[in-house]
A and B are shown apart, each in its own frame.
Chain A
Amino acid sequence: MTDIAFFYAFAALTVLGAILTVTLRNAIHCAIALIASLAGIAGLYLLQKAEFLFVVQIMLYIGGVMVLFLFVIMLVNLDGAAKERQYHRHWIAAVASLIGTGAIFATFLHRGAGSLKLESPLPVVPGAGNVETLSMVLFREYLVPFEVASLLLLVAVVGGVIMAKKRID
Chain B
Amino acid sequence: MPSPITTEHYLVLSAMLLLIGTVGVLLRRNVVVIMMSIELILNAVNLNLVAFSHHLQQVNGQVFAIFIIVVAVAEAAVGLGILIALFRNKETVLVDEIDLLKW
Which chain A residues have a beta carbon within 8 Å of chain B's beta carbons? 3-4, 7, 11, 14-15, 18-19, 21-22, 27, 30-31, 34, 37-38, 41, 44-45, 47-50, 52-53, 56-57, 60-61, 64-65, 68-69, 72-73, 75-78, 81, 84-91, 93-94, 97-98, 101, 104-105, 108, 113, 116, 118, 121-125, 130, 133-134, 137-138, 141-142, 145, 149, 152-153, 155-157, 159-164, 166
Contacts and interface: CB of A to CB of B under 8 A. Distances in A.
B29 A88 contact: yes
B81 to A, nearest CB: 3
Contacts of B23: 22, 94, 97-98
Contacts of B81: 159-164
Interface footprint category on B? 35 or more
Contacts of B39: 34, 38, 61, 65
B15 to A, nearest CB: 7
Nearest to B23: A94
A59 to B, nearest CB: 10
Residues of B contacting A: mostly = helix
Given A50-B53, A118-B8, A125-B57, A134 B63 contact: yes
Contacts of B33: 21-22, 27, 30
B63 A7 contact: no
Interface in B43-98: 43, 46-47, 50-51, 53-57, 59-60, 62-63, 65-67, 69-78, 80-85, 87-88, 92-96
Interface of B: 2-13, 15-24, 26-30, 32-33, 35-37, 39-40, 43, 46-47, 50-51, 53-57, 59-60, 62-63, 65-67, 69-78, 80-85, 87-88, 92-96
